[in-house]
Amino acid sequence: MNENPVEFLIEVLTPELAAFVLCESKEKLFEYGDNFNIMPAEVKARLDFLLKIIGYLEGAYDERGVRQWFFRPRVQLNGISPIIVFYKGRWKPEDELPQVVMHLAESLGDANST
Comparing CA positions, the residue from 44, 27, 102 lying closest to residue 69 is 102
CA distance 5 to 73: 27
- Each domain of the chain, given as residue ranges in start order, spans 5-112
**Virtual torsion, Cα 90, 94, 79, 52, nearest 10 deg:** 100
State the pLDDT at residue 2.
56
Per-residue pLDDT tens digits of the chain, which is 114 residues long: 557 899 899 999 889 999 999 888 889 888 888 787 899 999 999 999 999 999 999 989 998 999 999 999 999 999 999 999 987 678 999 999 999 999 999 998 665 554
State the pLDDT at residue 110.
62
pTM attached to this predicted model: 0.87
State the pLDDT at residue 1.
52
State the pLDDT at residue 106.
94
State how far the alpha carbon of 91 is from the alpha carbons of 19, 25, 39, 64, 67, in Å: 13, 15, 16, 24, 19
